[in-house]
Amino acid sequence: MKKTKPITELRDTGKLEEDLSLNNGTLAITKNGKVRFHVLSPEAYEEFQNKDQTRGFEERIEPLPSGGGKSDCLGFVRMAAATPFVNLGAPEKNAENIVNEIRKAHEQGVSVLALPELCLTGYTCGDLFLDDELLHSCDIAIAKILDETRELPILFVFGAPFRPVSRLYNCGFVCLKGKILGIVPKAHLPNYSEFYEERHFAIAPENNVLVSYLGQETTFGRKQVFVDSSYPRLKIGVELCEDLWVPSSPSSILALHGASVILNLSSSNEIVGKADYRRRLVSMASAKEAAAYVYADSGDGESTSDLVFAGHNIIAENGRIIAESRLFSMKSAVADIDLELLSAERKRMNSFVPTGEEFHYVPFDLELRLPSNLLRKYGQSPFIPEGEMDFERVNAILDMQAEGLKNRLRAIHCTKAVIGLSGGLDSTLALLVAHRAFKLAGLDPKGLLAITLPCFGTSSRTHDNAVKLAKSLGVSFREINIARSVESHLKDIGHGSSLNVAFENAQARERTQVLMDIANDIGAIMVGTGDLSELCLGWCTYNGDHMSMYGVNASIPKTLVRYLVKGYSMMHKECSEALDDILDTPISPELLPTDSNGQIAQKTEDKIGPYDLHDFFIFYYLRYRFRPAKLYLIACLAFEGRFDKATIKKWLVAFFRRYFANQFKRNCLPDGAKVGTVAISPRGDLRLPSDVDADSYLREAESL
C-alpha cells in the first residue's frame, strides 16, 4: 500500500525525498484526512509518462471486426445527449437524476452518453462553488454514481467541479462500469457578459497529471483521447461549452490526435437567435473535424434569476445534424453514429496529422453491437435532394457542366459542337448542357449540331422526340441512318445473322465514328453523352459511346440525369412536351431490333438492374467505401417495401462484378468536369488497376 502524508509535512523536502525512495517514488498527500493528490519522484513521473496504456492507439491498424465473441456493429454506435433535472447546490439529489438518465439511455441501447456541464451541482451555483461543503457533497455523489453504474455497459460523461490540489476546475468525468477513465478540465473560461467563471474556476493546466480520487488513480488533463481497445475506430474526446465557441477549439486538436467523437458538456443559456447559431457551430465543428459531435446542454433547475436554459441537445455527424431536442423539452437527442463513414472521410484526406503534443490514449472496452432498430434514415436517391424540385440546385449543376464545356470551347478556339441525339435521357441532358454552354459563350446555337443516327433498334418514339427537342432549342439538326453502313461492316467481317455483342457494338462504334468524322469535317468538338452510372457498370461500348472529345455527363449518375431533365422541363415550357415524353420512355441503348409494333425491345434495367439501386450502391461505395454487408443493410432499410432482400442482394452482387470488371473503360475516359463528390476520372478521384481481384467482395455479397 502506498504511504500517505498530511499536506503539512510537505515543507520538509529532505524527509519527502526519503519517503519517496522508500515507497517506489509515490506518496499520497492528504488534507483533512482525505487524499487530495499524489507526489511523484522524477523517476516515477518519467515511468508514468511512458506507460504503454497512454500511447500508441493513434497508430493502431483498425481491422474490420472478425468475431472473437463480439458482433460486427458495422460502424454504428448509439450515442445520446441528455439533460437531467438539476437541484441547485444538491449533488446527492442530482446524482440520482444523473443515474436515472444513464439507466434510461442504457435501456435505449445507448453506448455513449453525454450529460451537461456542472450537472452534478448546477451551473448557476455562483459562490457556492467556494464552499468546501459543496465539494465534499460532490465526492459523496460521484462515489454514488460510480457504485450504481458499475454493472451498466455504457460510457458516460457528466460535469462536476473538481479540486485536485488547491485550485478548482470545471470538469467532465469520463466513466465506465464504476471506473473513472479520466477527468477533463475546461480549457477556456468565459468571463464576459453574463459569464464569470474565472471567479470560481481555474483554466485547465497545460499538461496532464496523475491523480488519486475516491480510491482510483486516473488522469487529469485536457490532452486525453479515450479509445475502445476492441474497436479503435471509437475514439472519444471531451470539451466543455465555451471550448466550442473559441477560435481554436480543443476539439480540433483532439480530432488531429484521432478523436472521432467529440462530447461537449455545456451550459449554454438561451437568448433570441442563439439556438440557430449554436446549431451551426455544432454542425460546422463536426464537418471540419470529420467527426461526430454530441452536445449536451443544461435545462430545468438552473437558476432563472438572470438566465434561462433550454436543454438544447444536438448530435451532428460530418456536418449534418442527425438528432436534436426541441428547446425547453428536456428531451434527449439519440442517434446511431456511423464510425465507418467518419473513418472513410478521414482516409480520403491528408490533413489529420497530430500536432506533436503529448496526448494520453486511455483504453476502455465496450460491448458494441449492431442496433436492432437502426436510428438512421437512408433516402432511395442519395444523389438527389429530398423534397420538392430544387431549381437552384438544378441550375447550379447545369451551370457547372456548361462552364466546363464553354471553357473547353474557348481554349481550343472552337465555335461549333456535334452531339449524337438519340431521344434518350443522356443525350438529352448533354444537348441541354451544350445549349447552355453556347449561351454562356455568346455563340450562335446554330453552331450546335444535333445528329440522330437511327438503326435497327431505333423506335419511332425516340426518333420523334429527338427531332422535337432539337427544333424547340433552335439548334441545327441532321439525320443519318446508319443501317446500311453497319450491315456492310458486319458483312465485311463475316459476322452472319447473330444478334450478339458484335452486332450491338458495331452500331455504337459506327455512330461514334460518324459523329467524330463530321466534327472533324466542320471544325467542331464532339460532345459525349455517357453518364456516371453507365461508366461504373461498364454499360457502354468501348470506343463507341464510351468515347468523345469532351464528356459533360461523366460525373452525373442516371438518377440525377433524370432529375435534371425533369427540372429543366419544369422551367422551360417550350421544351416540356418532348422532355416529358423522354422522361417517360424506358431506358434502352436501342441496339436490338424493335418489336413487331415498332416499340423498344431492349430495356436496360431488365438486363443490368434498376438504376435506383445501382446509384445507391455507387454513392455509398465510392463516397464512403462501405463494404457489401453494410451496403446490403442500408439498402434493405432504404428500399423496404419496394425491393425484397433477394432482389437487393442479386443486384448488389451484379454491381461489384460489373464495377471491378470494367475499370479498363474508365481508365481512358475523355475529359469532363467533376460536378459532385462522387466522380471516376482516372486523373482525379479514381485510380484503380484494371485487373483487381474482386473475389473477396463477391464472396461477402454472395454470402449475405
Which amino acids are annotated catalytic? 117, 186, 241
- C-alpha to C-alpha distance for 97 and 105, rounded to whole angstroms: 12
What does the block give as the cell for 203?
483554466
- C-alpha to C-alpha distance for 178 and 565, rounded to whole angstroms: 60
- C-alpha to C-alpha distance for 419 and 548, rounded to whole angstroms: 10
- C-alpha to C-alpha distance for 39 and 212, rounded to whole angstroms: 10
> What residues have CB less than 8 Å from 469, skipping those under 6 apart?
421, 423, 428, 431, 450, 575, 578, 579, 582
Torsion angles phi and psi, residue 310, rounded to 5: -105, -5
Q: CA 458 → CA 498, 538, 632, distances in Å? A: 18, 22, 36
β-strand partners of 419: 450
Q: Using DSSP bridges, classify how beta strands 314-317 and 292-297 pair: parallel, antiparallel or unpaired.
A: antiparallel
β-strand partners of 448: 417
What does the block give as the cell for 277?
447559431
What does the block give as the cell for 621?
461505395
Give the largest Cα separation in the chain, rounded: 108
Identify each DSSP E strand in 318-441 by its residue range.
320-324, 333-338, 360-364, 417-420
What does the block give as the cell for 78?
448509439
Nearest alpha carbon to residue 38 among 221, 222, 226, 219: 219
User: What 8-state DSSP symbol labels residue 64?
Assistant: P
> What residues have CB less than 8 Å from 573, skipping those under 6 apart?
none
Helix, coil or strand: residue 660: helix
- C-alpha to C-alpha distance for 86 and 91, rounded to whole angstroms: 9
β-strand partners of 31: 34
